[in-house]
C-alpha cells in the first residue's frame, strides 16, 4: 500500500512512518518545505505521489499556544486541511484519507466516557479549528465522495514528544532534578486526561485507514482519565532521586478542560484495536528519552 503522510517529521508522524514501514507499506510524505497554506504546492505534491491512503497529521497542535496564535491556528488547521482534501480529490484514483482531529472538540465532560455522539463544545481556538477541519472532511465525503475517515485521538504520549506538552515537560523537569536536585515546576495538577501511548495510537490509525468506514469518526483512547497530579507522582516514583514539585502560575492555561475521557467502543468493534502499552511503561520510556537527550 502506498501511504502518504503530512506532518511526517512530527512526534506522531515519526512513529507512524516507522509503524507503516514495519507493516510493509511504502511511505511518502509532504516535504517540510511545503506549506499547507499553499494550495498549488500541496496539490502538486499529493498528485505526484498518487497514494492509496493519506494520513493527515500536520497541524498546529499545542492547545495552550492557540490562545496566542488563533489566526495562524485556523489558517494551518482549517485552510491547510481544505487544500489537502482538494489535492487528494484531484488524484486520478482518489485515496482514502485519514483525517486526524482531536478529542478537544468535545470540550469538558462530567467525567463520563465520551463517545462519538457527544456534543461538540470547543473552549479553545485549537478545538474550534479541529471541528472546522473535521467538517470539511465530512463535506468532501458527502458532497464529493472522497473516502474520508476521521480519528479523534485523546491525549497521546511517548518518547520523543516535545516538552511543550504536559507529560513530556514534567518528565524532562524530573530528569533535570535528578541531576541537579531541587524543584520541579508544575502547572494545574487537577486536570484529568485520557492518555494512550503513541505506539498504540499509530496502530489504530493504520487500522482505521484500512477498515474505517468512510464518513465516520472514531475515538482513539484508553477509556481511563488520569489526574495530572498522578502522572507527576508516577514520574517522581520512577525518578532516581528525590524531587520536590512546586506550582508555577505561569504554567497554568487561561482555560483548562477539567476532565476528558473517551469511549473507544466504535474503534474496537470496527477494527479489534485495544491499547497494549501500559502507562508506567510509557512514562519510564519518556524519562529514558530525556535522560538520553539531556545527558
With contact defined as beta carbons under 8 Å apart, do 111 and 224 qualify? no
The pLDDT confidence band at residue 51, using thresholds 50, 70 and 90, is very high
pLDDT above 90 (res 185): no
Same domain, 144 and 12: yes
pLDDT at 244: 75
pLDDT at 255: 53
Looking at 44-48, 173-177, 275-279, which range is the least confident one?
A: 173-177
pLDDT at 217: 98
Rounded mean pLDDT, 29-56: 96
Dihedral sign computed on CA atoms, order 202, 208, 214, 219: negative
pLDDT above 90 (res 257): no
pLDDT at 223: 95
pLDDT at 240: 84
Calculate the CA 265 to chain-centre distance.
19
Same domain, 76 and 142: yes
The pLDDT confidence band at residue 253, using thresholds 50, 70 and 90, is low
Rounded mean pLDDT, 143-169: 95
* Residue 210 belongs to domain spanning: 2-156+195-220
Separation between Cα atoms, residue 118 and residue 268, nearest integer Å: 18
For 186-216, give one letter per residue: b (16+ CB within 10 A) or e: bbebebbbbbbbbbbbbbbbbbbbeebeeeb
248: CATH:
3.90.25.10
pLDDT above 70 (res 41): yes
Same domain, 185 and 202: no
Same domain, 140 and 16: yes
Separation between Cα atoms, residue 295 and residue 63, nearest integer Å: 29
Same domain, 102 and 236: no
pLDDT at 178: 86
Closest by Cα among 199, 210, 219, 223 to 271: 210
Separation between Cα atoms, residue 200 and residue 267, nearest integer Å: 13
Residue 268 lies inside a defined structural domain of this protein:
no
pLDDT at 252: 64
Residue 269 lies inside a defined structural domain of this protein:
no
Segment 70-113, tens digit of pLDDT: 889 999 999 999 999 999 999 999 999 999 999 999 987 677 89
With contact defined as beta carbons under 8 Å apart, do 69 and 112 qualify? no
pTM of the prediction? 0.93
Same domain, 184 and 214: no
Q: Domain tally for the chain?
A: 2
pLDDT above 70 (res 156): yes
Rounded mean pLDDT, 134-161: 97
Rounded mean pLDDT, 277-287: 97
pLDDT above 70 (res 254): no
Amino acid at each position: 500500500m502506498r501511504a502518504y503522510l503530512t506532518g511526517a517529521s512530527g512526534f506522531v508522524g515519526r512513529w507512524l512512518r516507522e509503524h507503516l514501514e514495519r507493516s510493509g507499506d511504502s511511505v511518502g510524505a509532504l516535504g517540510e518545505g511545503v506549506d499547507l497554506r499553499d494550495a498549488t504546492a500541496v496539490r502538486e505534491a499529493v498528485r505526484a505521489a498518487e497514494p492509496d491512503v493519506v494520513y493527515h497529521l500536520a497541524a498546529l497542535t499545542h492547545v495552550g499556544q492557540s490562545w496566542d496564535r488563533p489566526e495562524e491556528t485556523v489558517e494551518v488547521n482549517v485552510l491547510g486541511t481544505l487544500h489537502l482534501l482538494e489535492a487528494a480529490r484531484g488524484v486520478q484514483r482518489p485515496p482514502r484519507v485519514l483525517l486526524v482531529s482531536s478529542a478537544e472538540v468535545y470540550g469538558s465532560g462530567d467525567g463520563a466516557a465520551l463517545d462519538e455522539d457527544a456534543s461538540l463544545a470547543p473552549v479553545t481556538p485549537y478545538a474550534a479549528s479541529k471541528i472546522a477541519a473535521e467538517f470539511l472532511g465530512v463535506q468532501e465525503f458527502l458532497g464529493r465522495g472522497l473516502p474520508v475517515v476521521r480519528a479523534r485521538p485523546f491525549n497521546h504520549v511517548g518518547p520523543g514528544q516535545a516538552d511543550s506538552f504536559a507529560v513530556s515537560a514534567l518528565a524532562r523537569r524530573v530528569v533535570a532534578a535528578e541531576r541537579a536536585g531541587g524543584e520541579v515546576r508544575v502547572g494545574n495538577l487537577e486536570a484529568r486526561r485520557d492518555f494512550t501511548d503513541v505506539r498504540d495510537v499509530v496502530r489504530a490509525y493504520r487500522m482505521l485507514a484500512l477498515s474505517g468506514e468512510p464518513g465516520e469518526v472514531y475515538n482513539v483512547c484508553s477509556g481511563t482519565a488520569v489526574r495530572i497530579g498522578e502522572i507527576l507522582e508516577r514520574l517522581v516514583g520512577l525518578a532516581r532521586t528525590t524531587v520536590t514539585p512546586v506550582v508555577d502560575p505561569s504554567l497554568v492555561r487561561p482555560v483548562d478542560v477539567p476532565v476528558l475521557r473517551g469511549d473507544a467502543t466504535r474503534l474496537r468493534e470496527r477494527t479489534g484495536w485495544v491499547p497494549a502499552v501500559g502507562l508506567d511503561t510509557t512514562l519510564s520510556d519518556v524519562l529514558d528519552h530525556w535522560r538520553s537527550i539531556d545527558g
